[in-house]
């Protein structure tokens, strides 16, 4: 049976990705040396495409790594001597905090009651915080932070670095990247690709900080410290043999988004999000977990199922429609639906029709 994956990542591949993959194989991309001219050209094109789809400044460095979780580790290692500050509102922001703890830092957090937005007017970030970490879109519970609240953090705290987790919202969310020092995402969400590549954007300020820490004798890691990565990036190379194929595919997907127009890509996402939330707001059994409408994620729709989520997940699966369970402790009481560019409006309608019929 052919399945459609509405899971919050890994998820459905963009329809053109299998074609890109076969073109890559035909051209020998997976066999290219990562020191070759051809690979350097791929790195350059993909990095440029990423900056364009996000609207990030030309000067932002683009580093490739294994996963977004790795990006969290590298950010803490390279930018924090003692203290980071974390907005924690779900499992992934909690993970960022935990990584800082495991690396022997002294992270501080503000937590919002699960599913509720932060009150930015009352957040007290200590002056001693070297880095502020925030998750724009919490893949675990589907809560999103308004871009204006992120853009303002830098103005209010000019001495701290700002790192934004855009794992499951890039490139849908429009941030002012001149106000962001680091941002990171993975490719199995909105970019509709197989998992196995994390992307970290970092500006010169972040690199400068990494250099200062290194000079002070703080361990900033080894082959993936910002200094070593930047030395290779100048040559459009990476310290290690990277996921060449995924870097190539990501470049193709960025080009596809740019050709369509990123505004159009975002508008499609908004339209499908409105369809989904409209449906569940009116549903007798299920309702959006995030009550505050302006804090609802457009890309990961989390639905509360007070009478249990597993029966509907199972019934949909039998029809080849794969949605996600609730994350961790919400497994039995929520389900999650990804709304990525790989999901067409027709597929969304078909999913909602099936939910109507089966619930």
Q: Toward its own copies, which CB reaches closer, 180 or 246?
A: 246
Q: Are 342 and 15 in contact (CB under 8 A)?
A: yes
Q: What would the 3-class secondary structure string for 2-68 be?
A: CCEECCCCCCCCCCCHHHHHHHHHHHCHHHCCCCCHHHHHHHHHHHHHHHHHHCCCCCCEEEEECCH
Select the residue interacting with its own copies from 120, 152, 157, 196 (CB under 8 A): 196
Q: Are 174 and 25 in contact (CB under 8 A)?
A: no
Q: How far is the CB of 41 from its own copies (least distance, A)?
A: 15
Helices 262-281, 345-358: crossing angle, 10 deg rounding:
10
Query: Within 322-351, which residues bind its own copies (CB under 8 A)?
Result: 322, 324
Select the residue interacting with its own copies from 16, 40, 70, 358 (CB under 8 A): 70
Site track for its own copies across 150-189, x = CB under 8 A: ------------------------------------x-x-
Give, in order, the Cα–Cα distances in Å from 107 to each of 102, 128, 129, 178: 10, 11, 9, 25
355 binds its own copies (CB under 8 A): no
Q: How far is the CB of 81 from its own copies (least distance, A)?
A: 14
Site track for its own copies across 101-120, x = CB under 8 A: -xxx----------------
239 binds its own copies (CB under 8 A): yes
Select the residue interacting with its own copies from 129, 170, 172, 197 (CB under 8 A): 197
DSSP state, residue 199: E
Q: Which residues on neighbouring strands pair with residue 144, listed in sequence order?
A: 137
> Residues binding its own copies: what is the number (CB under 8 A)?
56
What length does the chain have?
Answer: 359
Select the residue interacting with its own copies from 91, 110, 114, 195 (CB under 8 A): 195
C-alpha dihedral sign at 123, 127, 128, 129: positive
Q: Are 143 and 90 in contact (CB under 8 A)?
A: yes
201 binds its own copies (CB under 8 A): no
Q: How far is the CB of 149 from its own copies (least distance, A)?
A: 27
Q: Output phi, psi for 235, to 5 deg.
A: -95, 10
Q: Which residues bind its own copies (CB under 8 A)?
A: 3, 5, 7, 9-13, 18, 21-22, 25, 28, 30-34, 65-70, 72-73, 76, 95, 98-99, 102-104, 186, 188, 193-197, 219, 221-225, 239-246, 322, 324
């Amino acid at each position: 049976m052919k399945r459609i994956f509405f899971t919050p990542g890994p998820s459905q591949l963009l329809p053109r990705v299998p074609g890109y993959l076969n073109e890559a194989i035909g051209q020998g991309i997976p066999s290219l040396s990562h020191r070759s001219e051809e690979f350097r050209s791929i790195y350059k094109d993909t990095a440029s495409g990423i900056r364009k789809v996000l609207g990030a400044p030309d000067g932002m460095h683009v580093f490739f790594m294994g996963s977004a979780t790795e990006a969290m580790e590298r950010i803490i290692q390279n930018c924090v001597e003692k203290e980071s500050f974390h907005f924690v509102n779900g499992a992934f922001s909690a993970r960022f905090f935990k990584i800082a703890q495991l690396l022997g830092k002294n992270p501080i957090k503000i937590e919002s009651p699960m599913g509720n937005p932060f009150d930015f007017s009352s957040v007290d970030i200590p002056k001693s915080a070297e880095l502020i970490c925030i998750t724009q879109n919490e893949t675990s519970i589907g809560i999103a932070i308004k871009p204006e609240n992120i853009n303002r953090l830098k103005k209010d705290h000019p001495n701290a670095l700002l790192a934004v987790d855009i794992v499951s919202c890039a490139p849908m969310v429009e941030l002012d990247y001149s106000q962001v020092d680091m941002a990171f995402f993975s490719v199995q969400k909105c970019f509709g690709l197989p998992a196995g590549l994390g992307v970290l954007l970092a500006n010169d300020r972040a690199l400068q900080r990494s250099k200062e820490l290194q000079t002070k004798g703080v361990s900033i890691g080894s082959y993936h410290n910002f200094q070593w990565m930047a030395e290779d990036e100048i040559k459009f190379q990476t310290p290690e043999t990277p996921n060449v194929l995924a870097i190539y595919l990501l470049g193709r997907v960025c080009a596809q988004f740019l050709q369509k127009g990123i505004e159009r890509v975002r508008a499609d996402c908004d339209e499908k999000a409105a369809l989904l939330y409209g449906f569940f707001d009116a549903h007798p059994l299920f309702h959006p977990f995030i009550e505050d409408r302006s804090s609802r994620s457009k890309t990961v729709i989390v639905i509360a199922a007070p009478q249990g989520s597993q029966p509907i997940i199972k019934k949909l699966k039998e029809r080849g429609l794969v949605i996600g369970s609730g994350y961790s402790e919400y497994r039995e009481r929520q389900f999650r639906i990804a709304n990525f560019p790989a999901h067409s409006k027709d597929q969304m309608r078909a999913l909602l029709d099936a939910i109507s019929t089966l619930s």
